Structure 1
């Protein structure tokens, strides 16, 4: 069901169709469905519940389009009424905010909103919405490198999506998410199997963004195995189709630098920094800024400052995988310059981060 409590009828059907197009990431169909709703809206202006439902869906629509400033303005319109929301509206109010914060890379905020939404999930009779919730929270758990939790939720989501032919691309989404979790767990053969299956499913749908995301993740898979030439082939294909996700720009930069191609790497790096500022993606702004520092002529003191700024951010976001990675890189730099005290400090920090990752998974 869409986020509405109005009497079933034509208007509710129009809202349902709009939300289904959004859930399927079908931008053109979502735009068409929105126009059909707006053609009927004049007769519903006095219905407060409808207008709140419409505004929440429009908020979700703008998140789909990555129009985040517009999305934030729409949320402010419904804020004064939230105390009077029923369970359904409250669920979507929190759920959509979780998606907003995930989009800008604020994973802890996203998870907190998803947990608030989960308390109201039992009130929905929409099976697909339950699957959508489990898929979205699985995505956040992956980004926080809580892979066992992520896999648990994505399996629940896939079990539901698999029953609905019209949601075949969501089945591909789930295979893709299983694939990247396998990469995080260093299960590369399983990851490749999931990602290639996801690619096959995505090619049968008309979800171009999903297809490019899966190709990006194949690039990521081969990058993690130091198969840079294969990784670059996938990532270049994604980049040429103007899929300017900060992750794509970061990873392509990194692979070009690995293969000693700085003239190709640095323009993409600068483009990535610009995109991160535009969409307020703090995580990948730090990634790109740190990799830039690691390949620039900074003093070791300035390099340490830049890397530590990033490490502090990753610590604050519970992103211990990256704390470990960058601490160990900094430790190696100090070791190679015979500053063994500093090297020891950063090796220790990397070890602490590794322990946090291990114990966090062991407790799940």
Structure 2
């Protein structure tokens, strides 16, 4: 008679697998995943353990989809299918399992740019965070909170969580990827606070560390973020230099980040008044955005043409603003409305400038209301 493996033994191995997932150590994570799957076949039945395994498969998939273009691995299960399987389970989630389910769900919603849904899931997970004794897991949670609040422009809340995460990651040599990602969030928050000079050192360190571990995605992100920082500082030549490098890298890697990077580069050349070059990049960028069916980015490219090529085609500009509102993308709306107002002022269209300043102010109010996510 076969001697069954205790579920506690398999649980320990799943914990080890999760450590490699958090370090983005794909080969090691794949090995542990295979070992866990083999041991489960010879394990005493334990429904909670099987649910924990399903949750870890879900988290494993999030790691792969972050690090590698999906086209390189068509055999992967869909994240949505894994989530449906977990949430369709008849097992009632409790304790740490409830934490992981809501935490991972938040990560999934964040990747879909559903930031409010992500925050709601994270907040449910936070109620169970006291049950998490692993210091690195707490750092993971703090980082993800910092990330989503940064995207919602809740700057000081984001900085609070980013600092908490960094204080843990700094003492861990094997978590270079997360330290780099924390640097992106910290720098982005400094940019939002108009303290760009404080952002630059964080991004330069991130670029150096990204090159040291040879992670193309992070090198590209470091280049892009440095370029975007100099763009906000109105140092357009430096901005274009870094963004061009990011574009080149993303083109070689066939990255999904290419269309958005081309959008920023188009903005830069329009600001530099190199209309011919900007229009060439615009055509390339909108084609890439259409290829990945990114309707929001297509609308934003149309906005650039409406503003700089079509002499402020207000109908198209407001159509883009409407798309951003529908997708609750008020930070993007605030930025574009302010750009539009300043451009109108620059060319002497003061009445239009006032109109777009009003749109910017309304978007800013909506961003401030975005922190009211409590359900009491």
Per the TM superposition, whether the score is higher than 0.5 is yes
- Tell me, yes or no, if the aligned pair for 2:23 and 2:175 is still in contact at 8 Å: yes
- Residue in 2 aligned with 1:310? 323
Q: Once structures 1 and 2 are overlaid, which stretch shifts more, 350-359 or 167-176?
A: 350-359
Superposed CA offset, 1:197-219 (max 9, x none): 22233333354422322222111
Superposed CA offset, 1:227-265 (max 9, x none): 333223222322323243154232233234443312233
Paired residue for 1:244, among 256, 259, 269? 256
Distance 1:240 1:178 in 2: 26
- Tell me, yes or no, if the aligned pair for 1:311 and 1:326 is still in contact at 8 Å: no
1:15 is displaced (CA, Å) by 1.8
Provide structure 2 residue ranges, at least 5 long, that are not aligned to the other structure.
1-5, 71-75, 372-376
Aligned-partner SS, 1:346: helix
1:357 is displaced (CA, Å) by 5.5
1:151 is displaced (CA, Å) by 0.7
Distance 1:302 1:346 in 2: 13
- Tell me, yes or no, if the aligned pair for 2:303 and 2:317 is still in contact at 8 Å: no
1:337 is displaced (CA, Å) by 8.7
Q: Say yes or no: does 1:352 pair with 2:362.
A: yes
Distance 1:128 1:48, change over 3 A: same
1:293 is displaced (CA, Å) by 4.0
Paired residue for 2:333, among 303, 307, 323? 323
- Residue in 2 aligned with 1:195? 203
Distance 1:297 1:162 in 2: 50
Superposed CA offset, 1:19-39 (max 9, x none): 222222333443333233333
- Tell me, yes or no, if the aligned pair for 1:256 and 1:265 is still in contact at 8 Å: no
- Residue in 1 aligned with 2:374? none
Matches within 5 A, 1:1-364: 7-9=7-9, 11-44=10-43, 46-66=45-65, 70-81=78-89, 84-241=92-249, 242=253, 243-245=255-257, 246-258=259-271, 259-260=274-275, 261=277, 262-275=279-292, 277=293, 284=297, 286-295=299-308, 297=310, 300=313, 302-313=315-326, 316-317=328-329, 319=330, 321-331=331-341, 340=351, 343-354=353-364
Distance 1:105 1:271 in 2: 19
- Larger RCO (CA under 8 A, 6+ residues apart): 1
Superposed CA offset, 1:106-139 (max 9, x none): 1111111111111111111111010000000100
Aligned-partner SS, 1:84: coil
1:272 is displaced (CA, Å) by 2.8
Distance 1:121 1:199 in 2: 32
1:168 is displaced (CA, Å) by 3.1
1:192 is displaced (CA, Å) by 0.5
How many residues are treated as equivalent by the alignment?
Answer: 347
Provide structure 1 residue ranges, at least 5 long, that are not aligned to the other structure.
1-5
